[in-house]
Amino acid sequence: MTKVSDRLSPKDIAAGRERRLEAMHLQVSEGNPLDKHDIAMFEMFEREGWNHQRRRAYIVAEALAAAAAKVGDNVRQDIAPKR
């Protein structure tokens, strides 16, 4: 059985950084640039050497937490007394 490393090699990190910078440029040219939070998140992934599975799990968890917070906000608005 092959063990999957939870960290990327420096070579893989450098290649991923180049792809990220190119993708960021394309996002800007399409009028949809990454915000500071997104850039910081991807830089953290590179700095920490996270593998793709760990990155995906983090992004999914963040998205689910944001969706749950939004649903919670909507529920609180629905049950709040009307003024």
Domain count, the chain: 2
The pLDDT assigned to 47 comes to: 96
pLDDT confidence of residue 62: 95
Kindly state whether residues 14 and 39 are assigned to the same domain: yes
pLDDT in tens, 35-75: 999 999 999 999 999 999 999 999 999 999 999 998 876 65
pTM higher than the cut 0.75? no
Examine the domain organization and report whether 15 and 39 are in the same domain: yes
**41 and 59 within one domain:** no
Range of the domain at 66: 52-83
In the block, which residue shows the tokens 């910078």?
Answer: 21
Residues 6 or more apart in contact with residue 20 via CB below 8 angstroms? 42, 46
Rounded to whole angstroms, the Cα distance separating 46 from 32 reads 22
Q: Are residues 58 and 83 in the same domain?
A: yes
